[in-house]
Structure 1
């Protein structure tokens, strides 16, 4: 039997507006959940990635890089109860795709078939997600490990068109763009054309703010304009929203497939990694 995922998509879209959360939408935190659930992948060992939904287990769920994602997981629990046949790993990635599309972003290819782990044996080690206080060398080490190139790194960074940072979660605070629940290429335009000043926020953490302290950028964001190879793509995406949307769709689809090894019917398996952990 082939399950119908359109009702799941519709249910996710219905819960996105929430006046009491951040800027009136849970969309950005659902995108972050999909990204962090996938971004633990290591191409050399085949470990980590979106298959298994291992953030359900304490080791990964308590990683400091995942602070705040407990809200995203809780927001999706009613959807899981409504459609108990969908795996958490499919639900989390699909929620990210639906949220991006609902907030004006591109359509992103998504395939079902991920299988949830029944215990924590496949939980990847902490420390595989980016440290936003670092520079270009760190960015490359993290994303090259997953199998991304410089162009894909910059395109994926365009997810910072959405959402905001919270001092009690990451240490950083504030939104990147004026409308953080609308997906566009504003992030790249602001990186290039607004003046950014290094300042300490209310938590005492160094970040970059615009003149009015309304918007912020992370050290890893600023690395995209200071590094010449990254900057080429920042300039391209700032000038051409359609190009950015095409490239973002492709790289986000690649991201949420990390760690997913599919059999002939498309169902994911853990057999590929058992000997490597």
Structure 2
């Protein structure tokens, strides 16, 4: 069971190293995309063995913009072009952390070959707050003075947008675990349907929608599992999920998930230490 862990990060290389150490396995490789806005220097020492690679084609990533999708797509191309045969590609942030031992993660995925683990809530029925993301024009991917005014003008003058190619929109969480077969389909679809890419470039929070939607409307729909294997707590009602501390240890360990986000060792490293201890004894 060979896994390519794709890590999107912009800061805290020490915590990123800890994450990779926690997932280290003879059949695991790590591909790191460092935001082009960040200094690559502190991340270079992380590439200290044959299992760790830095994504060469980096993107300046902006919150809610298509740029984070492009960063992921760039990394997909490099992983697929590596010549290595992977069973799964596992998308993580630098602030994620495993809740299960590496052996348990590999064993679980070994029992679920060919599946795509990602959230697929219906935007029209189950996740209606996301409807404006796809019906209105968003210029989040374009950094220029007057962007917000231009966005308002576009939405005043133009009719509501419609999903291209009759796609049924689904999604919720950006993070997922899918196979190279699924990645190959996504890349080929975007290459053949540039107008679909252009549509999503004008969609806010598109990273939580595009990959799920393309697979959901594909011949691979039956391989999808509506579970991204991550525990994420949005109970604080903020734009970002809760940062876990040692007080969350019990809920994390009883979540049944393989991973959780998010963590910040500068805020609380005790929770990471406790998870390491539990994983070592599992």
The two structures have a TM-score, normalised by structure 1, of 0.28
Q: Give the structure with the larger helix fraction.
A: 1
Q: Give the structure with the larger strand fraction.
A: 2
The two structures have a TM-score, normalised by structure 2, of 0.27
